Amino acid sequence: MFMNKTDKKKRSWWRWGLALVGMLLVAWGAAGAYFFHVAMVPSHKSFVSSPTTVIKKSDPLYQQKRWFQQATKQKWTMTAADGKTRLVAAYLPAAQPTTKSVIILHGFMQNKESMGAYAALFHQLGYNVLLPDARAHGQSQGHYIGYGWPERYDVRKWAKRLIRDHGPKSQIVIFGVSMGGATTMMTSGLQLPAQVKALVADCGYSSLQAELDYQAGHLYHLPMLVRIPVEGALSVINRMANGFFTQSASSTRALHHNHRPLLLIHGAADDFVPTKMVWQNYRATQGPKQIWVVPHAGHAKAYATSPAAYRAHLQAFLARYVK
């Protein structure tokens, strides 16, 4: 059977078309895999400062960080909500016996030690302090970063651990900065023990998808037409490797189910998690709420920028709900 020239030309176009589609799929998958590694696999990130134990005396929070370094800390361990991942936390009991406890959640590629200044602050306010290392951070096990979505179940489990240790009269505050702030808000959407009295989220993003999209433009200068398919590929790979689509991890959607008191803090000069996100979170939450946008503060710098005002806002807010 012989093909005429028209049939040969059609078959040739089909081959070229299939080859082009194949190359585009390979490029799509490769780009998704690259950004999955950048975003989800724990390693040193050039765009994030690594946690350090070196403290400079010029640091406005030098005294607080120094206190934390020298404080005697208990090591707590727990199996994550997935039933297999070993988690590690540091625990500092209050100077005087109390029912008040705080769970302090760190940021992306940070660890419990990086939250020493906040631990000192809450300890000064009379709280027992629990500082977990999130999955794949610090001393905790884990292969991938969850940006607060799987970790929200771990936070609830840590809260139940505190209640088990301190009794049913426990009063618990969940506090987080950056990724920890988003984790706090995502946790708020769960059915939590009644002992969880209040939440504080400092510079947390409105959703993982919004933050990834912002960083794709801000750090990599990718145009929208490129960002959309690349972020889609990353999401699919994350679902296969990490258990969820990136679009699922949303602070604002979780906050629609939250009726607990929430204090939102954000730096007015934050160029890593855009300040506009704090207003989206503020509008979403359904419980008592306060917002404080700190003038001139960059990302996760609100406390260092205005230490006295930070303590005053925190203390005044919590005094209404934790007795």
Give the angle 211-144-81 at the CA atoms, nearest 5°.
100
Cα distances (Å, whole numbers) of residue 153 to 156, 222, 256: 5, 33, 18
Q: Which pLDDT score is estimated for 254?
A: 98
CA gap 183, 178 in Å, rounded:
9
Q: Does the residue 234 lie in any domain?
A: no
Q: Does the residue 137 lie in any domain?
A: yes
Each residue's pLDDT, cut to its tens digit, for the chain (323 residues) gives 445 555 555 556 556 555 555 565 556 567 778 888 888 998 776 666 767 778 899 999 999 999 999 999 999 999 999 999 999 999 999 999 999 999 999 999 999 999 999 999 999 999 999 999 999 999 999 999 999 999 999 999 999 999 999 999 999 999 999 999 999 999 999 999 999 999 999 999 999 999 999 999 988 888 888 888 889 999 999 999 999 999 999 999 999 999 999 999 999 999 999 999 999 999 999 999 999 999 999 999 999 999 999 999 999 999 999 98
CATH code where residue 302 lies: 3.40.50.1820
Q: Which pLDDT score is estimated for 1?
A: 46
Q: Does the residue 268 lie in any domain?
A: yes
Nearest partner of 177 among 276, 106, 109, 265, judged by Cα: 106
Q: Which pLDDT score is estimated for 275?
A: 98
Q: Does the residue 218 lie in any domain?
A: no
CA gap 64, 61 in Å, rounded:
5
Instruction: Please check whether residue 219 is in contact with residue 294, taking contact to mean a CB–CB distance below 8 angstroms.
Output: no
Number of structural domains the chain divides into = 1
Q: Are strands 196-202 and 262-267 parallel, antiparallel or unpaired?
A: parallel
Q: Does the residue 27 lie in any domain?
A: no
Only one residue has tokens 């390979």, namely: 26
Give the angle 25-46-24 at the CA atoms, nearest 5°.
10
Q: Does the residue 53 lie in any domain?
A: no
Q: Does the residue 201 lie in any domain?
A: yes
Torsion angle of C-alpha atoms 213, 219, 222, 226, degrees rounded to 10: -40
Q: Does the residue 40 lie in any domain?
A: no
- Give helix then strand counts, H and E, for the chain: 11, 8
Q: Which pLDDT score is estimated for 219?
A: 86
CA gap 165, 264 in Å, rounded:
29
Instruction: Please check whether residue 106 is in contact with residue 122, taking contact to mean a CB–CB distance below 8 angstroms.
Output: no
Provide the domain limits for residue 74. Answer: 58-207+249-319
Tokens of residue 288, six digits:
């008592």
